[in-house]
Amino acid sequence: MRRNSDDIANIRRRLEELDNIVETDELGIKVDYAFHAAIARAAHNIYYSSALDSLREQALFGMNLTRRLSLSRTRTRIKAVQAEHRAIFQAIRDGDPERARQAMRAHIQSAKNWVFESEQ
C-alpha cells in the first residue's frame, strides 16, 4: 500500500465527518464523496484519482440516490453503510490491501443491491 500517515489522517477525518452526518440525519453526499476521494488520493496513483474526478458528477448522483433510499428506509441501513466505510478505513490503516479491496467491493455491491432491491 502506498498510503502514508497524512493519508490515514485525512481518511479518518472524512470518516468522522460522516459519523457526525449520520447522527444529524443529513444526506452528506459531498462528505461521502470526499471520503472516497481521500481513499483514491491515498493510492498515490494519478490515473485512479483522475478517473474518479472525471466521474465526480455521476458518483455524486449515485451517492445521492443511495443515501436518499437509505433515509427513506431505516437508520439500520445508514449505520450499515457507515460500518462498511469503517471496514474500508481500518483495512487501509492496517496496511492490508486485500482486505481493503474486499471491503470496498462489498461496499459497492451493497449499494448496488440496495438500489436495485429496495423496492422488494
Mean pLDDT of the chain: 87
| Pair 14, 21: CB distance under 8 Å | no
pLDDT in tens, 86-95: 999 999 999 9
Query: Domains of the chain, with CATH numbers?
Result: 5-117 (1.20.120.530)
| pTM tops 0.75 | yes
Q: What is the pLDDT of residues 24-62, one digit of tens each?
A: 767 788 898 999 999 999 999 999 889 999 999 998 898
